[in-house]
Amino acid sequence: MSDSEKSCIYCGSKDSMTVDHIPPKNLFPEPRPSNMLTVPSCKKCNESFSKDDEYFRTILVSCASVSSDPNAQAVNEKLLRSMIRPEAAAMASAIRKSLHVVNVTSRGGIYLGRSPAMRVIADRINRVTDRIVRGLFYIKHDYPVPMGYEVTCVFKDDALSMPKEFIDQWREFWKPPETIGGNVFSYSYALCVDDPNGMLFIYWFYGKLWFYGIVTPKTDSKAAQ
């Protein structure tokens, strides 16, 4: 199928077709890799993603666990420079309002002191992660997530770490990880043994920030809506 014949994987439109980057391209420092993943998207959907993509980038590169990563540092430096632009005033204001101070404890519950933190708007994160899973599904199947299926994403806001027992439980089903842009984005997936559309994705940014998403049939009540 030629590019002109493809439909937007998000809304099904064939008008003003372009491509959406999976994951958002602003997570990659320049020069960006030549093997970035893209999926068919209409211009209307693609342009509607920009503010959530900016927010998602801000949250990821602000995580303390990637503060020493060269790729995350490069993206963060560009982000800080962009914040002085007049058109970025709303985003900068929202970030300032989200800052607060929290108690920090070790995994064993030992109090370590106080530290600045950002309140995260989970809905905005989830909109991006939902799109990433839909994009990866398309890349592996060459068709969008079918009607009758839903995407469920999990945002691990406790340092975005993936529980070891979760990985071990699925280890025999995972496909070999694929990586884009060094350590910027990596992903793996497992297929449901009795449903080719059922999939479990795990993906991580800068080698440390983990997310996962599941594509499953809708329940009867959801399918009827």
pLDDT, tens only, 153-167? 876 544 445 555 556
Q: For the chain, 225 residues long, give each residue's pLDDT as a single digit of tens.
A: 555 578 999 999 999 999 999 999 999 999 999 999 999 999 999 999 999 999 999 889 888 788 889 999 999 888 877 767 766 666 666 666 666 566 777 767 888 778 766 677 888 999 999 999 999 999 999 999 999 999 998 765 444 455 555 566 666 778 888 999 989 999 999 998 899 899 999 899 998 888 889 999 998 655 545
Tell which residue, 186, 216, 190, has the closest CA to residue 203: 186
* Amino acid at the residue 91: M
**CB contact at 8 A, 120 and 59:** yes
Both tokens assigned to 224 = 């009827």
Tell which residue, 146, 195, 153, has the closest CA to residue 9: 146
DSSP H helices, the chain, are 43-48, 50-61, 70-82, 89-98, 122-141, 164-170, 220-223
pTM for this predicted structure: 0.83
Tell which residue, 135, 151, 130, 144, has the closest CA to residue 14: 144
Q: Within 10 A of 161 (CB to CB), how many other CB atoms are there?
A: 13
Burial (CB < 10 A; 0-12, 13-18, 19+), residue 111, is exposed
Distance CA 160, CA 187 (A): 15
According to DSSP, the residues that pair with 213 across neighbouring strands are 153, 201
Q: Which residues contact 195 (CB under 8 A, 6 or more apart)?
A: 217
Tell which residue, 211, 183, 204, has the closest CA to residue 68: 183
The dihedral sign for the CA sequence 95, 97, 100, 106: negative
* Amino acid at the residue 43: K
**CB contact at 8 A, 43 and 20:** no
Residue boundaries of the structural domains of the chain = 3-66+121-223
Q: Say which residue the tokens 């602000």 belong to.
A: 62
Both tokens assigned to 209 = 């920030």
